[in-house]
Amino acid sequence: MEVQIESVRENPLLERRQVTLAVDHEDDSTPSREDIKSRFAAENAVDEEKIEVGTIHTGFGRNSSKTELKVYEEFDYSEDLEEEASTTSETVEVTEEYEEIVAGTITDAKDAINDLEDPDYKALIEAEVENKNRTTLVDWLEGQME
């Protein structure tokens, strides 16, 4: 299992860092929260007691997952990761049209998205996460991006 930091967001108000991880688990099942926590702690010299692991998202039939950690301890990371996370979140614009599309059933949403000329999949994913956060639709949207 390989764990790679994709982005880090500082949250000084709550005295923590929100870390997005890409987890590659080739030929293995989705790793447990404890496995991810211990691997991240070992690689970044962080106390395991200071880490909370959120939901682990694994696409159907994939050998990779994404998860978000809340780390209540300082650790070293590339400043580029923090800048990348802030620019990425600023460029995604969720329109009212996208909110309406994901408000219906998954089948209706897929049909509406297929009818769009040039859909912004990142904005659609953001709209779905803010709305119902159905992993089936999120996985399908991620697959459409590839």
70 shares a domain with 18: yes
| CB crowding 43-81: b at 16 or more within 10 Å, else e | ebebeeeebebbebbbbeeeeebbbbbebeeebeeeeeb
59 shares a domain with 111: no
On whether residue 84 sits in a domain, the answer given is no
On whether residue 87 sits in a domain, the answer given is no
Domain hosting 6: range is: 2-78
41 shares a domain with 99: no
Question: For position 45, which CATH number holds?
Answer: 3.30.70.330
Residue range 97-134, pLDDT digits in tens: 889 999 999 999 999 999 988 888 888 888 888 888 88
106 shares a domain with 62: no
100 shares a domain with 45: no
Higher pLDDT, 141 or 75: 141
62 shares a domain with 98: no
71 shares a domain with 119: no
Residue range 49-102, pLDDT digits in tens: 999 998 888 877 788 889 889 998 877 676 655 544 444 444 567 888 889 999
Q: What is the pTM of this model?
A: 0.55
On whether residue 74 sits in a domain, the answer given is yes
